[in-house]
């Protein structure tokens, strides 16, 4: 869970998440889930925030039925596909969901 002040503190990252979601054509449900995931999992290290944002976008899209490819999410978030691939399952499991078996 996160505090209301986290939205203000991480507004720059939430704006970047929204811009990437625009590029991906995600609907509000996926955006909201991705934002909540990000705010609940913001890493301390500045360099890890972009990777976390990308993983949150991927998971947000996946759980809301708006699945996008890892490559398209990585491109929109300006990270490598490998970054998304390495982080999304742990993030999904951290929030109590099971990763698909495909």
- For residue 32, the 8-state DSSP code is H
Q: Which two tokens stand for residue 49?
A: 């925030």
**Where do we find the tokens 């999992």?**
41
- Helix, strand or coil, per DSSP, at residue 83: helix
Q: Where are the domains of the chain?
A: 4-94
Report pTM: 0.92
Residue 101: per-residue pLDDT: 66
CATH topology of domain 4-94: Cyclin A; domain 1 (1.10.472)
Model pLDDT for residues 57-72, shown as the tens digit of each residue = 999 999 999 999 999 9
């Amino acid at each position: 869970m996160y505090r209301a002040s986290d939205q203000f503190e991480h507004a720059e990252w939430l704006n970047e998440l929204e811009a990437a979601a625009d590029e991906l054509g995600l609907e509000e449900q996926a955006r909201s889930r991705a934002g909540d995931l990000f705010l609940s999992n913001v890493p301390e290290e500045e360099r890890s925030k972009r990777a976390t944002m990308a993983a949150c976008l991927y998971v947000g899209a996946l759980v809301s039925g708006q699945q996008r490819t890892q490559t398209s999410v990585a491109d929109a978030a300006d990270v490598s596909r490998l970054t998304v691939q390495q982080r999304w399952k742990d993030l999904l499991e951290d929030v109590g969901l099971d990763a698909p078996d495909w």
